[in-house]
Structure 1
Amino acid sequence: MNNQVHAVRGMARPTMKDVAFRAGVALKTVSRVVNGEPGVTPETTKRVRGAIEDLGFRRNESARLLRTGRTATLGFIADNCGDPDYAAVCRGVEEVARDHGFLVFTGSTDGDPDREESLALALCARRVDGLILAPAPGDHAYLAPEIEAGVATVFVLRPPELAGRDVVLADERGGAKAAVAHLIAQGHRRIGFLGGDLSGYRSRQLMSGYAEAMAAGGLPADPAWTTLAPQRLADSAVTAVLCGSREHTLRALRAIAAAGHTRTAPGRTRRVAVVGFGDFELADLVSPGVTVVSYDPAAIGRTAGELLIRRITGEDGPARRVELPTRLIPRGSAEFPPQE
């Protein structure tokens, strides 16, 4: 190693010029690599990153803030960041943020609109460049001045009532329709839906998909089949059920198992076919495995993150609604004919 490089190593704070000298490239090339811009070959990028690591270079974020007016920070707000779905969405956002040199601050609202507003405005006051929200109920009018001031905003998992905003969703309606069509193909005609409060976005979408599939199959949808209590499922008229969440799926499976254990007469146990919306840990290990409609929350996070970064860096155009596909995974809990 020559004396010039030794001198660079001895500096308190290496600069991009030092990195350029060490890597043997132009200063603009280093800038492109550091800022995640295109136009640099993989080989050159590798050489620049090696020089960065060798010299211990760290970007001067204060200088970049003054130059660009951006802080390279994002906010992610959801009901509960410890929930598996929200955690996966956040992980997807963080993957994109890391690739573009952004940090992500997170907050949980417990579904409380006031808590959401407080968190979102606190992050905006700290000059985040953009927000990704799984919105609580409400009109989100409090965000309008922040959006007008330049805070890019993308919603995930459910759309806001605030019009004209980007949103990334799972195709819940299509997933429910495919699930019910699958049950009909097994011979089921009395199919129930466990969806909880139909005022929620997901429940409404799943209910719409359920109703469309029943109509397409020429089947009636008795209101009693869509207002089921899980604990009465095994004694109801339905032979199959679509569950609108992991919680509903587990409650249905427990109720069916409990009803089977309490029956004493031979041959009296009646299996109810179950399809759950949302995959979960161990669903493939129980016997039979649980058939589910699966979606990829991490992909939702990555898609939302990429869209947000593009908005931050100047992409205009109308608001986008992106619906990512769902996938039916048959495992055994729904793949049998009706048992009366």
Structure 2
Amino acid sequence: MTSKTTAAFHAPIARPRATMKQVATLAGVGTKTVSRVINGEPNVTEATSAKVWDAVRALDYQPDLQAGSLRRADGRTRTLGLLVGSVDNPFAGVIQRAVEDVAATRGVSVFASSLDDDPAREESAVRNFLQRRVDGLILTTARTTPDYLNQVRDRGVPVVFIDREPMMKGLDVVASDNREGARRATEHLIDHGHHRIALLLDRMDLITAVQRRQGFFDAFGAAGIRTDLAAVVSELHDEHAARRAVLDLMASDDVPTAVFSAQNLITLGALHALRELGLERTVALVGFDDLPLADLIDPGVTVVAQNPQEIGRLAAERLFALLDGSTDSARRIIVPTTLIARGTGELTAPR
């Protein structure tokens, strides 16, 4: 006869959450003093502050910052809302890190969300940020005239737009010099003998796509090249659509000798297509925005590099200036781009 032993497993007993009153008792101070220390308010001695923080750590006290903001003199929550295109995109990731670095020096946390070029998702994200009572907003937009701006302004929440700017006046914006960067990229291809150049674009309801298209044709006009020699393909939402577009272009009756891809994910799709066709050393390519490992590909990918770290830093600093009471007029800060020649953009046109 065999016997069975049954082991009983019990969920750990949750430890009661420490209260501010318990912290105050352990530190030997009043609850108002604890609140002033945690919220970084002045007129607290270093010795008292040290006792409070020792008690906080001993009790593992987690302050409710949302509720605490209601008791602060300035009503701040020490949080920002950041809306980027997509956290999958390295460009957005660098911007987020730069914003977080600036915010960290102020003891401010950042709530980040992806836009995914969806106006409904954009509005939902902004609404959620406002519900969290963030102190300020840094936003990428998919709209030319965001209709939530009145609600943001009514609440007195400062906002800085990054990367894409609404077609509205009186807004703070930090963005790349899209038109000039695209002009230089196209001029670079023209200097290497190319006239039949394909332009690959994102959605044309995005201001960045419009500006980069303008720069592309600026270069054609300056060189006196007929614009009908350009093949323009837009509404390319991802690298798969871009790959398909390049495959179709290379199978057409008027094959381009060069490609200017006006967004980093589009550049990836173009690279896949050219390598699939064995044309990576024949058809020139310049991409807008840099790519990870672009210098390790053979040939290296020539790009017009943006500076997302600088965009994020400047946007965060501008937002904190507004939070600190700046009464300056709205500023439109344009960050220069850099042409990096690595190989694909230096392939010369066939005679």
Say whether the fold is shared (TM-score over 0.5).
yes
Distance change in 2, residues 1:14/1:291 (3 Å): farther
Distance change in 2, residues 1:56/1:92 (3 Å): farther
Q: How far did 1:234 drift?
A: 3.5
3-state secondary structure, aligned to 2:267? helix
Task: Tell me the alpha carbon deviations over residues 86-120 of structure 1, each in whole angstroms, 9 at most, x when there is no partner.
Answer: 12111111111111121111122322222222221
The residue type paired with residue 248 of structure 2 is R
Q: How far did 1:181 drift?
A: 1.4
Match of 1:75 among 75, 81, 88: 81
TM value normalised by structure 2: 0.75
Give 1:11's aligned residue: 27
Distance change in 2, residues 1:144/1:54 (3 Å): closer
Distance change in 2, residues 1:94/1:205 (3 Å): same
3-state secondary structure, aligned to 2:346? coil
Q: Any conservation in 2 of the 1:14–1:55 contact (CA below 8 Å)? A: no
Distance change in 2, residues 1:119/1:197 (3 Å): closer
Q: Any conservation in 2 of the 1:289–1:332 contact (CA below 8 Å)? A: yes
Task: Tell me the alpha carbon deviations over residues 262-308 of structure 1, each in whole angstroms, 9 at most, x when there is no partner.
Answer: xxxxxxx9711100111111211110000011011121111111101
Distance change in 2, residues 1:156/1:337 (3 Å): same
Q: How far did 1:183 drift?
A: 1.4
Does residue 231 of the first structure (1) align with residue 242 of the second (2)?
no
Match of 2:124 among 111, 114, 118: 118
Distance change in 2, residues 1:186/1:223 (3 Å): closer
Supply the distance in 1 between the matched residues of 2:350 and 2:281 (Cα, whole angstroms). Answer: 6
Match of 1:131 among 131, 137, 153: 137
Q: How does 1:88-237 map to 2 (within 5 A)?
A: 88-137=94-143, 139-222=145-228, 225-227=231-233, 229-235=245-251, 236-237=254-255
Identity across the alignment (%): 38
Task: Tell me the alpha carbon deviations over residues 297-331 of structure 1, each in whole angstroms, 9 at most, x when there is no partner.
Answer: 12111111110111111101221111101000000
Give 1:37's aligned residue: none
Supply the distance in 1 between the matched residues of 2:342 and 2:29 (Cα, whole angstroms). Answer: 57
Does residue 304 of the first structure (1) align with residue 315 of the second (2)?
yes
Q: Any conservation in 2 of the 1:77–1:132 contact (CA below 8 Å)? A: yes
Count, aligned residues: 302
Supply the distance in 2 between the matched residues of 1:217 and 1:13 (Cα, whole angstroms). Answer: 75
More divergent stretch after superposition (219-228 vs 177-186): 219-228
The residue type paired with residue 152 of structure 1 is P
Unaligned runs of at least 5 residues, structure 1: 1-9, 19-26, 35-47, 262-268
Q: Any conservation in 1 of the 2:286–2:302 contact (CA below 8 Å)? A: yes
Supply the distance in 2 between the matched residues of 1:63 and 1:260 (Cα, whole angstroms). Answer: 60
Q: Any conservation in 2 of the 1:73–1:130 contact (CA below 8 Å)? A: yes
3-state secondary structure, aligned to 2:278? helix
Unaligned runs of at least 5 residues, structure 2: 1-25, 57-61, 235-244
